[in-house]
Amino acid sequence: MASKQIRVIQFGLGPIGAGVARAVAARRNLQIVGAVDIDPAKVGKDVGQFIGLERALGVKISDDATDTLKRRADVVMHCTSSSLATVEPELAAILRARHNIVSTCEELSMPESTPGGAKIAKRLDALAKKYGVTVLGTGINPGFMMDTLPLVLTGVCQEVKNIRVHRVVDASKRRKPLQAKIGTGLTVEAFKQKAGKSIRHVGLTQSIALIARALGWRLDKIEETIEPVVASQPVKTEFYDVAPGLVTGVEQFGYGIRDGQRVIELHLRMCVDAGESVDETWIDGTPSIHSVVTGVHGDLSTAAVATNCVRRVVATAPGLVTMTDIPIVSAG
Residues engaged in binding its own copies (CB under 8 A): 1-3, 23, 26, 29, 140, 144-145, 148-149, 151-160, 213-217, 283, 285-297, 300-301, 303-305, 307-308, 323-332
Other Cβ atoms closer than 10 A to 218: 8
Coil, strand or helix: which one is 83?
A: coil
By beta-carbon proximity to its own copies, the closer residue of 4 and 221 is 4
Query: Can you tell me the distance from the alpha carbon of 281 to that of 266, in angstroms, rounded to the nearest whole number?
Result: 9
Q: How far is the CB of 180 from its own copies (least distance, A)?
A: 23
By beta-carbon proximity to its own copies, the closer residue of 165 and 296 is 296
Q: How far is the CB of 165 from its own copies (least distance, A)?
A: 14
Query: H or E segment at 46?
Result: none
Q: How far is the CB of 234 from its own copies (least distance, A)?
A: 28
Query: Can you tell me the distance from the alpha carbon of 142 to that of 106, in angstroms, rounded to the nearest whole number?
Result: 6
DSSP codes of every residue in 174-185 = S-HHHHHHTTTT
Query: Can you tell me the distance from the alpha carbon of 174 to that of 183, in angstroms, rounded to the nearest whole number?
Result: 13
By beta-carbon proximity to its own copies, the closer residue of 56 and 300 is 300
Residue pair 309/182 in contact by the 8 Å Cβ criterion:
no
Q: How far is the CB of 292 from its own copies (least distance, A)?
A: 5
By beta-carbon proximity to its own copies, the closer residue of 80 and 141 is 141
Q: How far is the CB of 293 from its own copies (least distance, A)?
A: 5
By beta-carbon proximity to its own copies, the closer residue of 246 and 310 is 310
Query: Can you tell me the distance from the alpha carbon of 112 to that of 118, in angstroms, rounded to the nearest whole number?
Result: 4
